């Protein structure tokens, strides 16, 4: 096979991979890289058309939305359920694990641009007030938004 053709094939493959919708896997963990009670990764920068699968890698967790992007349906999974959502709208989604909100089990999915940042900033303090442990970890999440 001519080398030039190999390069063109690789280029075409790269382009198609980059434009394909992605399924993000977010693990729900009792202990992860950042400590106890975490979503991993706890922040993702996704695109409209992607999906997210919450995986109960360790038991005792579930996931509930707190603020969603405009048009995105609120969601709530059952305990220890593998749960998938489709990201059909641009903006920020802020979510948490109800049993472990107090321990800072919070995550952020940014889809495209953070066009609803004002709404997130307005609603964040009442969520933050319920976080007793690792609040700095949760604050750091919000600093990712841009």
Could you list the residues known to form a binding site, using ranges: 61, 97, 100, 105
Is residue 29 involved in binding Cu ion (CB under 5 A)? no
Is residue 105 involved in binding Cu ion (CB under 5 A)? yes
Residue 93: closest CA among 116, 122, 77: 116
Could you tell me the smallest distance in angstroms from the CB atom of residue 26 to Cu ion? 12
Distance CA 50, CA 20 (A): 9
Is residue 137 involved in binding Cu ion (CB under 5 A)? no
Selected binder of Cu ion within 68, 100, 111, 114 (CB under 5 A)? 100
Q: How would DSSP label each residue in 6-32?
A: HHHHHHHHHHHHHHS--EEEEEEEEEE
Residue among 11 and 31 whose Cβ is closer to Cu ion: 31
CB nearest Cu ion: which residue? 97
Is residue 134 involved in binding Cu ion (CB under 5 A)? no
Q: Are 52 and 24 in contact (CB under 8 A)?
A: yes
CB count in 10 Å sphere of residue 130: 12
Binding site for Cu ion (CB under 5 A): 61, 97, 100, 105
């Amino acid at each position: 096979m001519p080398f030039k053709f190999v390069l063109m094939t690789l280029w075409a493959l790269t382009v198609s991979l980059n434009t394909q919708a992605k399924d993000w896997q977010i693990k729900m963990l009792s202990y992860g890289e950042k400590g106890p009670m975490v979503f991993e990764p706890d922040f993702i920068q996704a695109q409209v058309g992607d999906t997210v699968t919450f995986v109960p890698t360790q038991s005792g967790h579930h996931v509930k939305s707190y603020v969603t992007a405009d048009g995105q349906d609120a969601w709530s999974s059952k305990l220890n359920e593998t749960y998938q959502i489709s990201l059909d709208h641009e903006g920020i989604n802020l979510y948490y694990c109800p049993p472990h909100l107090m321990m800072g089990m919070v995550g952020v999915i940014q889809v495209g641009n953070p066009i609803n940042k004002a709404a997130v900033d307005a609603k964040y303090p009442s969520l933050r007030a319920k976080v007793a442990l690792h609040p700095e970890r949760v604050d750091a999440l919000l600093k990712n938004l841009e």
